[in-house]
Amino acid sequence: MSEPLLPLREPLKPPADYPQSRVASHDEALSARRVEGLFLATGALQRGHFLLKSGRHGDRYLEKWALLQHPDAAAEVCALLAERALVVAQASAVEIDLVAGPTTGGVLLAYEIGRLLGVRGIFAEEVAGDAGAVRREFRRGFQIPPRARVLMVDDILTTGGSLQALLPPLLAAGAHPIAAAVVASRSPHMRSIEIPGRESIPLIAALTLDLPTYEASECPLCAAGEPIGAPGSSGR
179-207 pLDDT per residue, tens: 999 999 988 999 999 988 888 999 999 99
Q: Is residue 149 part of a domain?
A: yes
The pTM score is: 0.88
pLDDT of amino acid 34? 97
Confidence band (pLDDT; 50, 70, 90) for 235?
A: very low
Please return the burial class of 28, using the count of CB atoms within 10 Å of its CB with bins 0-12, 13-18 and 19+.
middle
Domain that holds residue 187: 75-210
CATH at residue 178: 3.40.50.2020
Please return the burial class of 7, using the count of CB atoms within 10 Å of its CB with bins 0-12, 13-18 and 19+.
exposed
Q: Is residue 109 part of a domain?
A: yes
Confidence band (pLDDT; 50, 70, 90) for 236?
A: very low
Q: For 92-134, where are the alpha helices, taking DSSP H only?
A: 105-117
Q: 3-class DSSP state for residue 70?
A: coil
Give the model confidence (pLDDT) of 41-82 as tens digits: 999 999 899 998 788 899 998 999 999 999 999 999 999 999
Tally the domains of the chain.
Answer: 1
